[in-house]
Amino acid sequence: MQSPVKVINRVDTLSHARKTMMKEHLSRLIVVEGTKPVGTLTRRDIVRGINDYRMRQRELDTIVVDEVMRSPVSTTTETESVADAARKMVSQNVRGLPVVDLAGELIGIVTKTDLTRYFSENFTGKLKVGDICQNKENTPIIHPTQSVSRAMDLMQDCSTDRVVVVDGEKPVGIITETDLSNIRTHSGGGSFVKGSVRDSEAVSQTRIYIKPTAEDIMTKTLQVVASTKDAAQAARMLISREIGGMPVVSREGNLVGMVTKFDFVKVIAKEEK
């Protein structure tokens, strides 16, 4: 586990939480009352919040953590086994667990990154990337000219923190929750480009809103991994490059799937009790 833990309060603003995540390079914060955890706030929660039609017209410094955080929060203890913690993360579909003492007070946190590091140190030579990765059919895919809103919808529908951008059969970029948490969707204000649309013989005025596409915000310097690579080596790649996942490719460089830190958590969760 990691300790100490960066925390926030229910009444802190989403703007403050977002800046804290960026400054500390974190993907989640624990919400506390005193010294006890009462919720969690992740980048996905921020993306979900700013994509909610009821909040689109509000500034981030007017939205408080309590409005978008997840509560109640599931916890673990420092004496619980790694496999049991992994099973709890998988069954509840969470990427991190606060660690509490017998009094329920926060003493640490264990995340998918910690479990990926554990996998890299204990599973060398046991599995290939192709054995544990998501296949192409289950990988959220978007094309360069599709809108950012489509990426947001895919992440929510697929319960994932990233989508792969493809051109034909080859991956050309990746969009993560970090990328999406740094933009705001159009709020209905006056930023638009006036244009005209010809309908038969008539010409009518229209407003074309400037909305970023996948190509505008995707990470183009792409790290990929072969499906035949040792899975523990792939885990070390994610840790050393400080990324949460990467496309899996064939010998020809075509997309065959995606491997994420949570895939390693799932393997650990299957260990015998």
Supply the CATH number for residue 57's domain: 3.10.580.10
Let me know if residue 240 belongs to a domain: yes
Let me know if residue 123 belongs to a domain: no
The answer to whether residue 43 scores a pLDDT higher than 60 is: yes
One domain, residues 38 and 85: yes
Q: What is the mean pLDDT of the chain?
A: 87
**Residue pLDDT, tens place only, 144-177:** 999 888 998 898 888 888 999 999 999 999 999 8
pLDDT band at 210 (very low <50, low <70, confident <90, very high): low
One domain, residues 230 and 251: yes
Yes or no: say if 109 and 1 are a contact pair by the CB < 8 Å rule.
yes
- What is the structure's pLDDT at 20? 94
Let me know if residue 171 belongs to a domain: yes
One domain, residues 194 and 146: no
Among the ranges given (7-11, 17-21, 110-114, 180-184), the one the predictor scored with the smallest mean pLDDT:
180-184
**Residue pLDDT, tens place only, 69-103:** 999 999 999 999 999 999 999 999 999 999 999 99
Among the ranges given (131-135, 162-166, 219-223), the one the predictor scored with the smallest mean pLDDT:
219-223
Distances (CA, A) of 113 to 47, 61, 217, 243: 21, 29, 24, 9
| 221 vs 135: CA distance, rounded Å | 22
One domain, residues 166 and 185: no
Let me know if residue 254 belongs to a domain: yes
**Residue pLDDT, tens place only, 235-256:** 999 999 999 999 999 999 999 9
One domain, residues 105 and 31: yes
One domain, residues 187 and 76: no
- What is the structure's pLDDT at 172? 96
- What is the structure's pLDDT at 182? 65
One domain, residues 63 and 143: no
The answer to whether residue 204 scores a pLDDT higher than 50 is: no
Q: Is 188 left (phi over 0), alpha (psi -120 to 50) or beta?
A: left
Let me know if residue 1 belongs to a domain: no
Let me know if residue 268 belongs to a domain: no
Choose among 20, 41, 167: nearest CA to 94.
41
Q: Number of structural domains, the chain?
A: 3
- What is the structure's pLDDT at 207? 44
- Per DSSP, 218 falls in state S
Structural domain of 92: 7-118
One domain, residues 165 and 56: no
Higher-pLDDT residue of 268, 185:
268
One domain, residues 114 and 139: no
Let me know if residue 99 belongs to a domain: yes
One domain, residues 136 and 170: yes
pLDDT band at 183 (very low <50, low <70, confident <90, very high): low
pTM of the model: 0.81
Exposure b/e, 233-263, CB count within 10 A at least 16 = b: ebbbbbbeeebbbbbbbbeeeebbbbbbbbb
CB count in 10 Å sphere of residue 200: 5
Let me know if residue 270 belongs to a domain: no
One domain, residues 171 and 63: no
Q: How many CA atoms lie within 13 A of 184 on its CB side?
A: 14
